[in-house]
Amino acid sequence: MAVTVCEVTSAPSQTAPPAPGTLLARATDLREELVADAARLEREGVTRADTARLAEAGLYATYAPVELGGVGTDEQRAVIELLAGASPDLWFVWFQHGPVLKMVASTVNEALRETYLADLVSGAVQGGVSYSHVRTPKPSIFAERDGDAYVLTGTQPWCTGWGLVDVLVVGAVVRETDEVVFGLVPACEGPGLRSTGLLDLAAMGGTSTHALAFDGLRMEASQVLNLLPYKDFFAVDASANTNVQPSTFGIALAALDLLEGRSPETAAALRERVLAVRATAYDLLDNAPFNQRNDDRLAARAQALLLGIESATALLTARGGQGMDLADPAQRLLRAAAFQVVHSQAAGIRAATLEALRA
């Protein structure tokens, strides 16, 4: 028999969306504070108080439609780069919110949009995702219809921000129809949904990343965000995923900023290469039609990933033995750059990165 998880309702809005054009300025104002806290957040873990700082600055609106307080593409990328370079662990918890906000903003489920959208924009309600398995050849959460509802079973191997976020977007494959259903569920443990444990990660150890078990979680029709053919989702997601994540550039540039004081010649040479790849990657995003020039996109992503490793390695080299301290920024940024290599990675990205290494 299907069971239902604990109920959570939307909290009142606590932070009004900022005026357009101010998000990067607010992120910049926070940068020094975030850099100072980055080592602690990695070791001790991000807390809701830490994400509240971003909400108070209006930064949860970064992915929102412009009319609701969001920003244009250039400013959005700049905010992502800044946060990823300043505190990779806090950035990664915050990053989970973007897909939730975008799915709620675009859903045809008007009741969900009316209930949650304003509070997702303000950060009064914070979201996470539980559907990375769907973008793999072997999805691991499946849904069966029960009237208008769906009953979910299976495992999600990776859910970041568990215990910090309020709601999860869950994706599951509907076996009978070969569709994928996405829904919004409360992010709390109860009958039908539980954590199977905190993951012991080599990087991003402060992000409260857990594996989740779904055992008869009932997702009502009122919770459904989208339903589409699995092959359509897989094709669109795979194409979108060929692009470089702005966070990759943010981490590389943060390392080069620190390297500037130790080896300005090395920093300048690497910065020129990073900025050239960034210009190519963003030009492809802005000007190449979707699902075209994918080989160029993959090549740019591979180059960016390896330049992130090189930039952090250069900083570690310049800092010498002190860089072996786990709290040292060179050590932390090298781990963060290594994480970028596997973040949202699929077979095509692995192949392109390995080809770049061979070259």
Q: pLDDT band for 234, please (50, 70, 90 cuts).
A: confident
CB 40 within 8 A of CB 330: no
The partner residues of 344 in beta bridges, in order of sequence, read none
CB 88 within 8 A of CB 336: yes
- Residue 39 parent element (H or E): helix 23-44
120-148 mean pLDDT: 94
159-177 mean pLDDT: 96
The predicted structure's pLDDT at residue 21: 53
pLDDT tens digits, 41-61: 999 999 999 999 999 999 999
Q: pLDDT band for 309, please (50, 70, 90 cuts).
A: very high
Tell me if the pTM is above 0.85. Answer: yes
Mean pLDDT, the chain, whole residue set: 92
The yes or no reply on domain 127-229 and CATH 2.40.110.10 is: yes
pLDDT of 5 > 60? The answer is no
The predicted structure's pLDDT at residue 235: 87
Name the architecture of domain 241-358. Answer: Up-down Bundle (1.20)
pLDDT of 135 > 90? The answer is no
The predicted structure's pLDDT at residue 324: 87
Phi first, then psi, for residue 58 (nearest 5°) are 80, 10
pLDDT of 1 > 50? The answer is no
CB 219 within 8 A of CB 150: yes
Tally helices (H) and strands (E) across the chain: 12, 8
Burial 92-113 (b: 16+ CB within 10 A, else e): bbbbbbbbbbbbbbebebeebb
The predicted structure's pLDDT at residue 7: 47
The predicted structure's pLDDT at residue 9: 40
Chain length of the chain: 359
106-110 mean pLDDT: 97
pLDDT tens digits, 193-221: 999 999 999 999 999 999 999 999 999 99
Cα–Cα dist 105/123, whole Å = 14
Cα–Cα dist 81/85, whole Å = 6
Cα–Cα dist 9/73, whole Å = 31
- Domain 23-95 identical in fold to domain 241-358: no
Tell me which of 62-76, 197-211, 263-277, 340-354 is least confident: 340-354
The residue ranges of every structural domain in the chain are: 23-95, 127-229, 241-358
CATH superfamily of 23-95: Acyl-CoA dehydrogenase/oxidase, N-terminal domain (1.10.540.10)
The predicted structure's pLDDT at residue 344: 82
